[in-house]
Amino acid sequence: MRSGKELWDLVKNQLKLEMASTDFSEIFDPITEIHKIHNKYIFLIVPDILTKFRIEKFYLDTMNKLLVQIEEDKHNFKLITREVADKENSDNQKLGLTSVDSVDRQVSKRNLRSEYTFDNFVTGESNRFAWMNAIKVAESPHVTVNPLYIFGDVGLGKTHLMMAIGHYILDNNIHANVVYTTAQQFAEDYFLATNKKNINDIEKFYNYHRSADILLVDDIQFLSGKNSTQEEFFKVFEHLFETNKQIVITSDRAASDLENMMARLKSRFAWGMLVDIKSPDLNLRISILKRKLAFLIPNPIDVPNNVLEFIATTFDQNVRDLEGALRRFVSFCVSFNLPFTLESAKQSLEGITPKNKLDSFVTNDTNIDKIKQTVASYYKITVSDLESTSRKQHITYPRQVAIYLIRSRYDIPLKKIGEFFGNRDHATISHSYDKIINDINSNLQIKNDINIIESKIEESLKKKEKNN
Ligand code: ADP
Ligand code: MG
């Protein structure tokens, strides 16, 4: 296999071809050193924490993809700041360890998803209390809230919040031993360790969890009915609790509702803080979409609000589905080179959108009037001009724009749209729509005009909502 440095140089060359040269030299030129290779990660040394954040947010995915193309041995990049890398080396020297060992222990336990941080967690009413307590625990583990028990339906951010605690603690103290496991993993490990009755395996299992400074156990409901595993978990819990170590647990239900779970365990859970996460409201769903977009495309503002509203209205139960829908929409537009319009959103999500949701996103005549008014005033003509049969260019074009805006915004039959514009037939409507899409893609000025008009429409519709 090639060395870490060779791999990085190859990826770097590739990046250079794909990026603007000023960005490249600013960000990547200074990165020339590998700290270590461990656990299938190649650790690159970056100058400071800001560079680290920036790369993690915008480039790390691409870097890892390039790496897979070059080297099939499934390595990934991780970033470490110069400061932390130096500290690791000097700590290891003090402890008389080789430069890798002691840190390996930390890193191997650090199986936290890199994007599940507090920074990336958007808060709203439904999750604020859970988030506040998570922050509390992260800032002062085993001082105030122990155990922290987070519960709620699937896909609402429990794992995210739990891992955010782990990241936060590790970011402040790389020597903290943060152990993340799922209850399922715990049960499997327990089974494997005790199955062969090999004392080494058993000891390893014991030490692994008992040496934690912070133990994160995801989806505890999985232990339901598994009595001997519960018994073992209870011992781990007691040990950590008595030695002032932090425990965080997630579950799909309240502790009191856990079935076939030892009463002793349930009551231990209740000693600490029990917090739930509920389904996010529309505002929070839209904010989450905006945050996730920043990871998906370079210019999140390219996706208009009405599209975000559509996705957020349609997928209102859990964040995982919401995010899935957004990804599907973006990759649909990108692969077929389509604009980020409501039309594309509907097409891309067709198979997974509940029918009643589509119906509920149609509009009423007042909204149509607002759009007509906005377009007419932008082009300095009148609404009756738009509705007239006139074929003068200075009227036809705004009319096509209005048709485009209505069609991309609402799910209305072409024939019906025709009725809004002096009974034009569906072919004319379809042609107008296609023409504007073409123009948007080929003419920056038009794209700009449309953006401005769309935001004016947003404003006027919002005003209307307020007045209602
Ligand atoms: P759970 O563990 O409750 O089933 P996850 O933590 O796996 O849910 O969350 C599912 C997805 O939704 C993840 O991608 C997560 O990042 C995202 N998510 C959930 N809540 C939020 C939030 N408040 N802000 C940002 N992303 C969120
Ligand atoms: Mg989870």
List Cβ neighbours of 115 (8 Å cut-off, separation of 6 or more). Answer: 295
| Residue 287, token pair as written in the block | 């904010």
Q: How crowded is the C-beta side of 167, counted as CA atoms within 13 Å? A: 17
Q: Which residue's CA lies nearest to atom 27 of ligand 1?
A: 157
Q: Which residue's CA lies nearest to atom 18 of ligand 1?
A: 157
Q: What pLDDT score does 108 carry?
A: 36
Q: What pLDDT score does 357 carry?
A: 55
Backbone angles phi, psi at 118, to 5 degrees: -60, -40
Say if residues 303 and 451 touch (Cβ distance below 8 Å). Answer: no
Collapsing DSSP to helix, strand or coil, 196 comes out as coil
- Which amino acid, 384? S
Distance of CA 273 from the midpoint of ligand 1 (Å): 20
Q: Which residue's CA lies nearest to atom 19 of ligand 1?
A: 157
Q: Which residue's CA lies nearest to atom 9 of ligand 1?
A: 157
Closest CA to 252 of 345, 149, 348: 149
Distance of alpha carbon 182 from alpha carbon 251, whole angstroms: 10
Distance of alpha carbon 396 from alpha carbon 435, whole angstroms: 12
Per DSSP, what are the bridge partners of residue 43?
Answer: 36, 78
Structure-token match 């402040």, residue found:
172
**Helix axis angle, 158-172 to 128-139, nearest 10°:** 20
| Residue 53, token pair as written in the block | 């954040």
Distance of alpha carbon 295 from alpha carbon 56, whole angstroms: 10
Q: Which residue's CA lies nearest to atom 4 of ligand 1?
A: 155
The one-character DSSP state at 246 is: E
Q: How crowded is the C-beta side of 355, counted as CA atoms within 13 Å? A: 0
Atom of ligand 1 nearest to the CA of 291: 25
Say if residues 99 and 36 touch (Cβ distance below 8 Å). Answer: yes
Say if residues 453 and 375 touch (Cβ distance below 8 Å). Answer: yes
| Residue 434, token pair as written in the block | 């296609």
Say if residues 302 and 341 touch (Cβ distance below 8 Å). Answer: no
Q: Splitting the chain (468 residues) into consecutive groups of 10 residues, what average pLDDT does each group show? A: 83 87 87 82 87 88 89 82 81 51 43 88 96 94 92 96 93 85 94 83 88 96 95 96 96 95 94 95 94 90 92 91 94 91 91 60 71 95 93 94 86 82 89 89 88 86 61
The one-character DSSP state at 436 is: H
Instruction: Tell me whether strands 76-81 and 41-46 are parallel, antiparallel or unpaired.
Output: parallel
Per DSSP, what are the bridge partners of residue 149?
Answer: 249, 274
Q: How crowded is the C-beta side of 176, counted as CA atoms within 13 Å? A: 24
List Cβ neighbours of 89 (8 Å cut-off, separation of 6 or more). Answer: 99
Q: How many CB atoms lie within 10 A of CB 444?
A: 9
Atom of ligand 1 nearest to the CA of 280: 23
Distance of CA 157 from the midpoint of ligand 1 (Å): 3
Ligand nearest to the backbone CA of 320: 1
Distance of CA 255 from the midpoint of ligand 1 (Å): 21
Per DSSP, what are the bridge partners of residue 157?
Answer: none
Residue count of the chain, please give it.
Answer: 468
Distance of CA 284 from the midpoint of ligand 1 (Å): 12
Ligand nearest to the backbone CA of 154: 1
Atom of ligand 1 nearest to the CA of 284: 23
Q: Which residue's CA lies nearest to atom 16 of ligand 1?
A: 160
Angstrom distances, CA of residue 104 to CA of 34, 89, 101, 108, 423: 15, 12, 5, 6, 72
Distance of alpha carbon 409 from alpha carbon 407, whole angstroms: 5
Distance of alpha carbon 432 from alpha carbon 19, whole angstroms: 37
User: What is the Rg, in whole angstroms, of the alpha carbon atoms belonging to the chain?
Assistant: 28
Atom of ligand 1 nearest to the CA of 160: 6
Mutate to test the pocket of ligand 1, among 128, 151, 156, 291 (most ligand atoms within 8 A of CB): 156
Ligand nearest to the backbone CA of 322: 1
Structure-token match 């998570």, residue found:
134
Ligand nearest to the backbone CA of 113: 1
Collapsing DSSP to helix, strand or coil, 217 comes out as strand
- For the chain, the distance separating the N- and C-terminal CA atoms, rounded to the nearest angstrom, is 67
List Cβ neighbours of 298 (8 Å cut-off, separation of 6 or more). Answer: 58
Residues with CB under 6 A from ligand 1: 116, 120-122, 127, 152, 154-160, 288, 291, 319-320, 323
Distance of CA 218 from the midpoint of ligand 1 (Å): 13
Exposure pattern of 360-376 as b/e (b: 16+ CB <10 Å)? Answer: ebeeeeebbebbbbbbb
Atom of ligand 1 nearest to the CA of 124: 23
Q: What pLDDT score does 402 carry?
A: 95
Distance of CA 205 from the midpoint of ligand 1 (Å): 29
